[in-house]
Amino acid sequence: MSKVIDIEDLRIQRQRQFASRPSTDCKHKRLILDDEGCIVRCADCDVQLNAYWTLTFFLEHYEQALAKLSARERRHAEGMQRDLHLIAAQRVERAWRSRTMVPACPHCGEGIDAKDNFGGTMINKTLYERRRAAKRGER
C-alpha cells in the first residue's frame, strides 16, 4: 500500500508492507526530542524511539488532525448555511433596536422605518430567484 502526503513543499510517500512499532504496552504519546543527542525518547516509559517510527507516528497524527479539521470545517459551513436566516434575523433585530440608525434597503439605499410595513408584503421565492438571476444575466 502506498500513500502520498503533501505538507506545503514537503512531499512524503509512504509504503507499508508490515507495521513496525516498539514492542511495549506504552503508546508513546508524550515524546521528548533531544536536539543535542538527536534522539527521541518517550516521556512515559523512557524508551528511545526509532526515528522512522517517530516520523510515521507524526504522520498518522497529522492525518487524523487534518481529517478532524476538515470535518469541523464542513460541519461549520453546513451550520452557517442552515443558520443563515437566523443570522439575517439577528442583524435585522439589531438594526431595529438602534436608537440612532435605521436599516436601509440593500438595493436602493433608502432607510426602512418600522411604519413602512416591513415584511408585510411577500413574493414567491422561485419567482424572486429567477428575477434576480435574470438581472445578473444568468440563466
| CA pair distance 129, 38, nearest whole angstrom | 63
For the chain, helix, strand, coil in percent to 5 are: 45, 15, 40
One-letter amino acid of 49: L
Q: What is the pLDDT of residues 87-132, one digit of tens each?
A: 878 887 888 788 888 888 877 888 887 778 777 788 888 998 898 8
Tell me the backbone φ, ψ of residue 2, rounded to 5 degrees: -125, 140
**Would you state the cell numbers that stand for residue 89, as one nine-digit string?**
434575523
* Res. 24: pLDDT tops 70: no
Bridge-based pairing state of the strands 10-15 and 31-34: unpaired
- The residue among 99 and 17 whose pLDDT is bigger is 99
One-letter amino acid of 59: L
* Res. 15: pLDDT tops 80: no
**Would you state the cell numbers that stand for residue 132, as one nine-digit string?**
434576480
* Res. 23: pLDDT tops 80: no
* Cα torsion angle, 107, 111, 112, 116, sign: negative
Bridge-based pairing state of the strands 39-42 and 31-34: antiparallel
* Res. 69: pLDDT tops 90: yes
Q: Is the entire prediction scored with pTM above 0.75?
A: no
- The residue among 18 and 25 whose pLDDT is bigger is 25
